[in-house]
Chains A and B, each alone.
Chain A
Amino acid sequence: MSLRLTAINICKSYNGKPVLKDCSVSFDSAGIYILMGPNGSGKSTFLRICALLENPDEGKINYFSDIPIIPPLSRGELKRGVFSENNILKRDIELKRRITLLLPRVGVFNTTVFKNAAYGLKIRGMGHDEIEKKVNTVLEFVGLSHKKNHNALTLSSGETQRLGIARAMVIEPEALFLDEPTASVDQENTEIIENIILNMKGKNGSTVIIATHDISQAERLAGRVLIMQDGKIVETSF
């Protein structure tokens, strides 16, 4: 399962100051993409817009999927031309629930590690037993099983980052955006996190877009590189 997306002529300003300037890029096959660029070039903003957390001032993000569109279109939506092409997905909660963004600051909830990881499944209405199974698996995967009953606010930054990834992974996103997932993490945890990312890509072939300042990370993850500068994608390796 994979979602692909295209960003078309994205413009975004904050307080009159343009941050993204007519930014277009197409992520048209699944795999790992590495987004690099200087501080303040607009990477985080771009990821938030791609992840449908914020609307652009101009331009749009189109999502595509091979999987039939859920839910089926209502006649009104067809009339209003919500879908310009047959396989472009509508921007609503159904689509939002197939993608996720790991923020640079994870934002753990003041509750146990387990409940943090379970959140995405719980709000999707999944049953208790299935949640238990999935969350235990994912916590095992990121090496946090032994801390599952600890309050998540007491984790170290590496552990917090791993919890963030677990919390995102457990919902099995078809497009995953990671904003500097290893920024404040030691080498050992960086390796762990990179392995998780590689594993995830292998497992369900999702589209993974990672913002990072670490050039060697691009090589280790064998990702396709995009360079952002001053609100535009200036170079791509694909």
Chain B
Amino acid sequence: MGGDRGEGGKFIMDSITEGFRRAFSLIFTLDIELLKIIFLSLKVSGTALLIATATGLSLGAFVGLKRFPLRGIIISLMNTFMGLPPVVVGLFLYLILSRSGPFGFMGLLYTPSAMVIAQSILAFPIVASLSHSAIVNVDPIIKQASMTLGATPFQVTLNIMREARYGIMSGIIAALGRVMAEVGAILIVGGNIAGYTRVMTTTIALETDKGNFELAIALGIILLLLSLTINMTLHLVQRRGMVKINI
């Protein structure tokens, strides 16, 4: 029995080594399938991020700068939804977009658009919540000082947001990190259709399942590099935001 286990382990090791070898060859020969998958990942997550930034930043700024009833509830909701489980979002969207669902007529299920919607939903609360906290943490003196210098209410708002820029950028980058790494939601609504809705994470999940390690490993390496880049950028932005204060 011990011998069996040993041989099984050897087999897996071999296929991993082989997987890495072929993964690097895929990367270095710029394999077309690989590139398409990477490109779609970036396109889906990038578009989702743009949508989430436009909407999330507006909500975050509005809630951060205005006082109105239910404001506290909206803030709690934004915070809660930051940790939205992707599979639940996927399931929810699936029900809405499936043929028998209320938006079934739009035929969006298993399209890149459905994936963009899913990731926008995931990214939106992150951008909203983090930009909200960046904006409320701006020293109130900034508002006063802007007003004393003759700023209109709109100019005051812009100036406050400019003061919050590093926090806002951190929120956007954090959201990008989350959607790039996410698999649950886009697998459900995208379906991982080869050449159409296959992105990095869904390919890794399904190819690993099938024992096709080479593509999975190649994508894994690239995904790791991407998230490393994202996190380093985040770190840099946060560092830039911390100016040594001399008072």
Contacts and interface: CB of A to CB of B under 8 A. Distances in A.
> Are A and B subunits of one complex?
yes
B150 to A, nearest CB: 4
A100 B146 CA distance: 10
A106 B162 CA distance: 18
Contacts of A124: 150
Interface stretch (A31-39, A78-86, A151-159, A206-214): A151-159
A204 B145 CA distance: 23
B67 interface: no
A124 B155 CA distance: 10
Interface residues of B, number: 21
B158 to A, nearest CB: 9
Nearest to A96: B150
Contact of A107 (B139, B150, B246): B139
Interface in A102-161: 102-103, 105-111, 119-120, 123-124, 151, 153-157, 160
A225 to B, nearest CB: 24
Given A153-B243, A155-B246, A123 B142 contact: no
Interface in A66-114: 93, 96-97, 100-103, 105-111
Contacts of B163: 109-110
A102 B144 CA distance: 10
B100 interface: no
A234 interface: no
A93 B149 contact: no
Contacts, number: 64
A160 B146 CA distance: 16
B141 A120 contact: no
A84 to B, nearest CB: 24
B147 interface: yes
B246 A156 contact: yes
A103 B149 contact: no
A110 B142 CA distance: 10
Interface string B123-147: 0000000000000000101101111
Interface string A52-68: 01000000000000000
A167 interface: yes
Contact of A102 (B147, B148, B151, B162): B148
Contact of A109 (B155, B159, B245, B246): B159
Contacts of A106: 145
A123 B150 contact: yes
A53 B246 contact: no
A23 interface: no
Contact of B246 (A93, A100, A153): A153
Q: How many of chain A's residues touch chain B, expressed as a range?
A: 20 to 34
Contacts of A151: 243
A53 B148 contact: yes
A32 to B, nearest CB: 19
B147 A154 contact: no
B144 A154 contact: no
Contacts of A30: none
A108 B139 CA distance: 10
Interface string B210-247: 00000000000000000000000000000000011111
Interface of A: 51, 53, 93, 96-97, 100-103, 105-111, 119-120, 123-124, 151, 153-157, 160, 167-168, 171
25 contacts: A53-B144, A53-B148, A100-B149, A100-B150, A103-B144, A105-B141, A106-B145, A107-B141, A107-B142, A109-B145, A109-B163, A119-B146, A119-B149, A119-B159, A120-B149, A123-B149, A123-B150, A123-B152, A153-B246, A155-B246, A156-B246, A157-B247, A167-B149, A168-B148, A171-B149
